[in-house]
Amino acid sequence: MNETIRLMKSHFSVRRFKDEAIKEEDLNEILTAGQMASSWKNFQSYSVIVVKSKEKKEALYDLLPQEAIRQAAVFLLFVGDLNRAEKAVHLHEKDFHPEGVDNLLITSVDAALAAQNTLLAAESLGYGGVIIGMLRYCAEEVATLFHLPDYTYPVFGIALGVPNQDHPVKPRLPLKQVVFQEDYQEQDPSFVSAFDQVQADYAGARATDSWSERVATQFGQPEEATTKALLEKHKLL
């Protein structure tokens, strides 16, 4: 195992931070490393808003009360962004068509790839962080807070800082249940109960619900309407 793989396999989410800043030169290196991620046709259909001010973090916390947002030295908002694309298209074409599922996948995947690079780069320099996707549940308010224009939408954020906690890596599903050879292998439902037990053993007394119960909470009910409403408002659906 080389150092890069060791770092990747030792990742855990950090939600509590020391009251220490991220060095500006480190932050620039982290963001530049994030930018080197693969991107669909090199369109780079995302943007990152760097939030350092206490006022802006408090305002975001008021919308989404997660302590990691307030404690973070820096909060990075990753934005799916076709606003630049609109300007490029109009250099050559009259019509601009940003709407549609495929374009949402392009922007979301571009943002996710850049974010993973960003978080790994931060961890390599001794920082830690957590990806916060629940801000999509207050998407319109987040868009207003950060003055997001048409053809953009908030995908998730990363709270970054100097870690003030350490804990074991959270278990993942066995490789054989997510990696298949040649064809998809649909699985017997018994794997769910088995993984529930793995997660329960990991969480111990901290466990309040099972892995499968959390899956059911997410996917066992209709989707939240807020993201769709913002996408329609910003001309992406």
Residue 68 lies in a domain: yes
Confidence of residue 136 (pLDDT cuts 50, 70, 90): very high
Q: pLDDT, tens digit, for every residue of 19-47?
A: 999 999 999 999 999 999 999 999 999 99
Residue 189 lies in a domain: no
- The helix-helix angle for 24-35 and 101-124 (nearest 10°) equals 140
For residue 142, the SS3 value is helix
Q: How many domains is the chain partitioned into structurally?
A: 1
Residue 208 lies in a domain: no
All residues at 6 or more sequence positions from 95 whose CB lies less than 8 Å from its CB, including other chains: 89
pLDDT at 199: 93
pLDDT at 208: 87
- Separation of alpha carbons 51 and 188, rounded Å: 45
Helices of type H across 51-100 = 54-63, 67-71, 83-89
Confidence of residue 207 (pLDDT cuts 50, 70, 90): confident
Residue 57 lies in a domain: yes
Confidence of residue 194 (pLDDT cuts 50, 70, 90): very high
CATH code for the domain in which residue 66 is found: 3.40.109.10
Residue 40 lies in a domain: yes
Q: Does residue 167 or residue 178 have the better pLDDT?
A: 178
Is the pLDDT at 204 greater than 90? The verdict is no
Residue 234 lies in a domain: no
Residue 190 lies in a domain: no
Is the pLDDT at 205 greater than 90? The verdict is no
pLDDT at 203: 87
Whether the Cβ atoms of residue 155 and residue 47 lie closer than 8 Å to each other: no
Q: Provide mean pLDDT across the span 158-174.
A: 95
Host domain of residue 82: 3-169
Residue 206 lies in a domain: no
The model carries a pTM of: 0.95
